Amino acid sequence: MKRRILIDCDPGIDDALAILMALAAPELDVVGVTTVGGNVGVDATTRNALALATLAGRRVPVARGADTALVVDKKRAESVHGADGLGGVPLPAPAYAAEEAPAWEFIRDRAAEFRGELEIVAIGPLTNVALALSAYPETRERIKAIHLMGGSIGFGNATPAAEFNIVADPHAAAAVFQSGVPITMFGLDVTNRANLSAEGLEELRAVGGRALSPCCSMLDHYLAAYRSFGRDALALHDPLVVAWLIDPSLVETRPYRVDVETDGRYTSGKTIVDVHGVSKRPPNAEVGVELDAERFIALLTRLLRSYDEPGAAGPLGTD
């Protein structure tokens, strides 16, 4: 049976690849996409999600969510993803509109519809997910699991201590980790190693195709941003979560207790991962610790290339 997933995201260049991979995967039934303000504002992330589904040829429902965090001031990552969130790369205009319902109601309704089956793939700040779980507590036991890109056992990327998705809404992240819903956490410890060098990007470009080509143009922008931080390879954070859903052998996880610092002077937004069990509290997450980067890139390439297979759907609105 296909895994039923809902993608909560802030596209975002790496989100864009993750969405296109998920929509291409025969193993996954994407029941909806919810958008949140994160890398860029929610107007742009919603438009981008609709444009990506249009490119994929899939009229998957998209529900717009929160633009700002529950408590802290908003943070954006336009320096990495560009002002429009996709590095200025043009995509087809959205062929349909977003849902009437806001993201948190959409999450509640899909959790009720697919009771015990729905897996949330959360690859942006966790505001929408936290709102759904707190406003509709019955939703907690209806969700099978939350698989999130966020946090780290070690250091941060948005601050020395904190990863972007968690520090962008630490109160929401804390609520999600305390919710009792089973969690898989893909932090920087593994996603920073889901790497693509300039040479790797050229190899991907040489494969080409109607989804891969715009993805490579987006990754040009993304790699330039990484280079401006002194790094020689880009990190495909969000796609790793989707790849793991399709092939769980790609990432090794371990059960740990994870809490989120919400008011540290230097550490706000840091995930505190109890690797040595010193708190004596039971684990609340499976945390990614190792990955097979080579097989991950091979899977990403295969999925994005599949848009060019004979019989694959073309973009919406171009029959």
Subset of 82-101 contacting Ca ion (CB under 5 A): none
Of 17 and 123, CB closest to Ca ion: 123
Which of Ca ion, ligand BDR, none binds 77 (CB below 5-8 Å, type-dependent)? ligand BDR
| Minimal distance, residue 17 CB to ligand BDR, in Å | 10
Q: Which residues bind ligand BDR (CB under 6 A)?
A: 12, 14-15, 39, 77, 80, 123-124, 149, 157, 163-165, 237-238
CB neighbour class for 174 (10 Å; exposed up to 12, middle 13-18, buried from 19)? buried
| Minimal distance, residue 127 CB to ligand BDR, in Å | 13
Build a one-symbol-per-residue string for 104-143: x at contacts with Ca ion by CB under 5 A, - elsewhere. -------------------xx-------------------
- Shortest CA distance to 257 belongs to which of 230, 276, 233? 276
| Minimal distance, residue 219 CB to ligand BDR, in Å | 13
Active site residues: 237
Under the binding rule (CB under 5 A), the answer on residue 204 touching Ca ion is: no
Of 164 and 244, CB closest to ligand BDR: 164
Which of ligand BDR, Ca ion, none binds 157 (CB below 5-8 Å, type-dependent)? ligand BDR
